[in-house]
Structures are given as structure tokens and as C-alpha cells.
Amino acid sequence: MKYDSLILACSPRPGGNTDTAAKLIADTLEQQGFSPEVIYLRQFKIIPCQGCQKCAEEGLGHCILAANDDAQMVLEKILTFRRLFLCSPIYFYHLPAGLKALIDRSQSFYSMWIKEQLKVHRGQAKIILIAGRKKGDKLFAGSQLTLKYFLSTFNYSLEYLDLRGLDKVADLKSNSTILEKIREFAI
């Protein structure tokens, strides 16, 4: 069992605001003596769930796609680490397709969890969602609901930091107020 942190950066855009947040979290944790692992989700192959429901019959590790891509490996990391930082942009009021594909592929873990066959310890997830728009009451609502049920399978409690008005690739890098908020959130 590892108690260090997994940092999951979920933007398709390299070097953008999500990556800046993920790197800042990693630097902050390293300064405190931790050795977090950063994963850039776009670097991995995630095939969308095909809804075959075979995992409901056979359970964890029996996703028919498991040998063909990296979803199982990433999901097992989420299961093993007990501190997760998940950073993602908002796309069309929700999570980007790559992250949603990973979430759908956790159905095989859900199938075990629902049968009480998934052994998990309690973990803490800190979620940073980044939106380009400054306004919108429900900008983060859909993503938060999805993440709540995704991570409940892995027995994570959730805390959120919602960031608005960050759109261009370097917007976060030049915003010292929000950078400081992220640093505080990481601790």
C-alpha cells in the first residue's frame, strides 16, 4: 500500500492550465518531502467502454479491453494510492472525453464494489476543475456529480477547488492569486 500522492492531469492540451496546476501540486508536495507521481492522462491509451457488461459477470481484471490499453493500469493506481489530486479542464460543462472514457472503464471496479468484493481503504481526493468562463452557476455541477460517483467506488472523500476565468494556455501561470490558492489546497 502506497500513501504518497497520485496526481492525475487530465487535459488534452500539453502545457496548459491543468498541467500548470498539476506541476505546482507536485512541487508543493516535493517541498514537503513527499514523492508524488504525476500522470498525464493524454499520454495513455484509453479505449471507451463498450457496455458489454461482461465485467458484471466476471469482476475486476475481467474487462475484455484490459489487455489492449492502459485504463486498467491507471485505475489500479487510483485504487492503490490513497491520496489523489485530479486536475481537469471543463469541456462543454463536463469532463474531457479522455477522462470520461477512463471513468466509464471503471465499471469493472464498480461491478466488484457493488458485490462488496473490492477491498479499498479510505482515501482523500482533491479535485481541481478549471473553466475558461467566469460565469455560470452550474459550470462544475455535472463534473462534480460524475466524480463523486466515480470515486465512491474507490472510497475517496472529495474536496474541490473550482477555478474560473482561465482559458488561454498560460492564464494560470500569470495569475499569482490562483497559484497561491492551489498551493494552499495541495497541503
- Return the closest-CA partner of residue 53 out of 43, 64, 44, 61: 64
β 81-89/123-130 pair status: parallel
Enumerate residues 31-70 that contact ligand FMN by CB under 6 A. Answer: none
Q: Which stretch binds ligand FMN (CB under 6 A): 24-32, 39-47, 112-120, 163-171?
A: 163-171
> Is position 95 an interface residue for ligand FMN (rule: CB under 6 A)?
no
User: Do residues 156 and 106 make contact, with C-beta atoms less than 8 angstroms apart?
Assistant: no
> Is position 133 an interface residue for ligand FMN (rule: CB under 6 A)?
yes
Interface pick for ligand FMN out of 70, 93, 120, 146 (rule CB under 6 A): 93
Distance in Å, CB of 73 to ligand FMN, minimum: 23
* Residues ≥6 apart with Cβ < 8 Å to 31: none
> Is position 167 an interface residue for ligand FMN (rule: CB under 6 A)?
yes
User: Do residues 126 and 81 make contact, with C-beta atoms less than 8 angstroms apart?
Assistant: no
- Binding residues (CB under 6 A) for ligand FMN: these are 11, 13, 16-18, 89-93, 130-133, 139, 166-167, 169
